[in-house]
Amino acid sequence: MSIALGIALTTASWQRNTKCDKMTTCYNLLLLLMLSWVCDVTLAAHLPKGHNSRPIIGILTQEVVDDVMKPFGKTYIPAAYVKFIESSGSMVIPVRLNQTLAEYEKIFKSINGLLFIGGAADLETSDFARDAGIFYKLALKANDVGDHFPVWGTCMGFQLLTVLVAEENLLTKTTAENLAFPLNLTAAARSSRMFNSFPPDLQKALSREPLTGNFHHYGIAAETFKGNEKLERFFSVLSTNVAENGVEFVSTMEGRKYPFYGVQWHPEINQFEWDRSMTIPHSENAVRVSSLLGQFFINEARKSSHRFATPKEEEAALIYNYTPMYTGNFTGYEQVYFF
């Protein structure tokens, strides 16, 4: 029972009972307030440490490189990523490129997790890569002092995480364009945080059914990953797949120490992209995979206590201030946010 509810109940009781004198009413009000305080304290004591019921995920925007998209903005976020996050129980803010370090530090302290999306940007020289590197270092520093902050990378975002950790670009040709795969799960996947909430039947389906949509030309070869001490020390490999040219590549990974997660495939498309020319998994199990991974990432974000300084600042930053544009008639995305 909250204090506000206690006051409301007492007021209602006073209005109903005209024989109740002021002294009795004040006594009842005091008693209810005390009970409310005890209930609130007890409830707070049983909530998970760092529990956040209003998580906010920042999605780093990406430069527009496709000529057909250039008339609409300089940077963008495909709406499927936003829906993926929102449908999992979180709000979203777009993180613009080319802001100052002070601005990024302020944003970092206001959000509870960060998503690096897929796309086509240079992973060493682009604004996207540079600004992602700033947040990567902020996240490392925060987690080192117990300030839980998760980072997720999808497709190119996955590749970017390997570049940031290895401090060099180790990507190679691993073309898997417009293909859906089952995952070759490793022994580490069984005890992983990422797949821990998957029921046994879905874990089995994930390794047998083509539930993961792949749209990439480069990746990190499994052999290269194993031969790099920095990557091996930082990430556990949860799954691999084989590219069209026969190269085995890492398709899923999670941080050993840090709450950093990466998928070379696209979980967001299973629910929110419908281009008939694309091999996008839409089966019941494919949707379950997408839903559970989204919920997992948001539950990680709930452990973060970061928040905006004021509700007004939060409202001004949310992606609700922008309207996605229908682009399904000239791009592979159903909808895109342009900035």
Catalytic residue among 46, 51, 148, 155: 155
Residue 314: is its pLDDT beyond 70?
Answer: yes
The confidence score (pLDDT) of residue 1 equals: 43
Same domain, 27 and 102: no
Residues 40 and 60 occupy one common structural domain:
no
How many domains in the chain?
Answer: 2
Whether the pLDDT of residue 237 is over 80: the answer is: yes
Residue 196 in domain: yes
The tokens describing 275, both together, are 């281009």
User: 339 lies in a domain?
Assistant: no
Q: Active-site residue among 148, 216, 266, 306?
A: 266
Average of per-residue pLDDT across 82-90: 98
Amino acid letter at 213?
A: G
Is the same domain home to 69 and 10?
no
- Statement to judge: residues 253 and 134 lie in one domain: yes
Residues 149 and 96 in one domain: yes
**79-87: average pLDDT:** 98
Task: Examine the pLDDT at 18 and tell me if it is beyond 50.
Answer: no
Residue 226: which CATH number?
Answer: 3.40.50.880
**Alpha-carbon gap, residue 216 to 264, rounded angstroms:** 8
* Residue 49 buriedness (CB in 10 A; 0-12 / 13-18 / 19+): exposed
Residues 200 and 289 in one domain: yes
Q: Are residues 105 and 29 in the same domain?
A: no
Q: Is residue 69 part of a domain?
A: yes
Mean pLDDT for 107-114 is 98
Q: Is 220 a member of any domain?
A: yes
Query: In terms of domains, do 206 and 153 share one?
Result: yes
Residues 13 and 93 in one domain: no
How many other C-beta atoms can be found within 10 angstroms of the C-beta atom of residue 119? Answer: 20
In a domain, 331, yes or no: no
Q: For this structure, is 148 an active site residue?
A: no
> Are 5 and 29 a contacting pair, CB within 8 Å?
no
Is 82 in the same domain as 224?
Answer: yes
For residues 38 and 63, state if they share a domain: no
Residue 329 lies in a domain: no
- Is 26 tagged catalytic? no
Q: Is residue 51 part of a domain?
A: no
Cβ pair 69, 35 in contact under 8 A: no
pLDDT confidence tier of residue 51, bands split at 50, 70 and 90: confident
Domain containing residue 12? 3-46
Q: Report the C-alpha gap between 179 and 279 in whole angstroms.
A: 6
Could you tell me if residue 138 is inside a domain? yes
How far is CA 303 from each of CA 112, 129, 200, 242, rounded to the nearest angstrom? 8, 26, 26, 35
CA atoms within 13 A on the CB side of 148: 15
Same domain, 37 and 169: no
Dist. CA 119–CA 77, nearest whole Å:
9
Contacts of 274 (CB under 8 A, 6+ apart): 280, 282, 328, 334
